[in-house]
Amino acid sequence: MQIHVVEEGQTLASIAETYGTTPEAINKANELPDPNKLATGQAMVIPIVGSYYWGKQGDTLYTIGQRNQISAAELARVNGISPYKPLQVGQKLYIPPRPRRAADFNAYVEPRRTVPPAMEADVRTAAPHLTYLAPFSFRIKRDGTLQRPNLNNFPAIAKENQVLLMMVVTNLEKGQFSTELGALILNDQELQNKLLDNILATARELGMGDIHFDLEALPTTGAEAYANFLRKARDRIHAAGLMMSVALAPKTSAEQAGKWYSAHDYKAIGALADFVVIMTYEWGYSGGPPMAVSPIGPVRRVLQYAITEIPAEKILMGQNLYGYDWTLPYERGTTAKALSPQAAIALAAQHNAVIRYDYRAQAPFFTYTDDQGKQHQVWFEDARSIQAKFNLVKQLGLRGVSYWKLGLPFPQNWLLIEENFRVRKRA
């Protein structure tokens, strides 16, 4: 599998010729919004076995091999060249496919009152590449009962694809995480028992395989109480033959304070849960200034701290499937519009914008002027940015990746999962 960045003047036909494939194959793999109008700077996945590399100044077989997990001798053998002869600038080398390791993949899906056909189609597309599917969410009510999400055909899709259904339990009220509701849950043993009764009964009824607690904005003094609740929950959930996982805010130290962080004790929760999802996204958010949603530097710092408190094999790295379109100049109080990677590419092509890549953040972005003369900046995800995250998962030995959220098409992501990993199926 090759990642190719479109240069000015290139067409599908010319790109296909470079890699010995067809325009139709590239179009199908990338689900191009308009195959006749490519955006300069657009990253595409080329569906070939292995990849090609063109030599640059200073390259050696050793340095190229190190970057691609292959010895210089094997690289020379595969390409039929001498291992002792210097490489030429522009020399074409074939890189064989890299070994794949097993990993878990989860994706949240957030149905509203109805499930649009496009959302269901995206779930069907993603399911072969998933270990877990997480309908968001089962909302805790103050009497210990649960308000269910619209599950539509999700259980059937999960079963067809050997995907474990994840029951996401939240303290959401009126669209916001409720500190008050969180305090009630943590401090009332009778309410906890009733809640766990209802969770387990619902899980049995719906065929859920994992109970996933996503309790956020908890009281800042609630770390011990939350761990105690999770210990009680784990004992009952395991006795029922189910798994328990927990969503965690992105922290870089145990002392990090605030309503989103204080109650999430990485060490205590990591010891109790079968696995955790660390929500490593939203540095760039709809109400903030333009920037990458999940820049790799901050993501790496969170995960490097996390693996000092939680076994790496229990950690799913959170990853966004969306970007944002900000109107410039940014003004506090305004909100950016969320969009999928596919929509971002179409927008760049529509406005003849050049997509650039921030190597420090490992994220693509572009600017354009709309029909009203207003300037915009768009940050999103592409094949390069997701490959950088997959490399991080492998470097740190993590369990895998958890996506927020389906319904935002990103076809290159699913292809690159299969290129990099063997997806575990636990259902």
pLDDT digits (tens, 9 = 90+) for 231-289: 999 999 999 999 999 999 999 999 999 999 999 999 999 999 999 999 999 999 999 99
Strand partners, 400: 104, 316
Report the distance separating Cα 220 and Cα 217, nearest Å: 8
For the cut 90, the answer to whether the pLDDT of residue 427 exceeds it is no
CA-CA distances (angstroms) from residue 172 to 139, 200, 253, 279, 300? Answer: 6, 19, 26, 17, 29
Nearest-CA neighbor of 196 among 246, 231, 159, 156? 231
| pTM listed for this prediction | 0.95
Q: What is the pLDDT of residue 68?
A: 87
Q: Which of 24, 120, 190, 216 is catalytic?
A: 216
C-beta neighbour count of 70 within 10 angstroms: 18
Place 98 in a pLDDT band, splitting at 50, 70 and 90: confident
- Kindly state the DSSP code that residue 128 receives in the 8-state scheme: G
The answer to whether the CB of 394 falls within 8 A of the CB of 310 is no
pLDDT (tens digit per residue) in 171-218: 999 999 999 999 999 999 999 999 999 999 999 999 999 999 999 999
Nearest-CA neighbor of 203 among 163, 168, 232? 168
216 is catalytic: yes
Q: What is the mean pLDDT of residues 5-17?
A: 97
Q: Residue 401 corresponds to which tokens in the numbers above?
A: 């990746």
Which domains, and CATH codes, for the chain? 2-95 (3.10.350.10), 101-322+385-423 (3.20.20.80)
Place 114 in a pLDDT band, splitting at 50, 70 and 90: confident
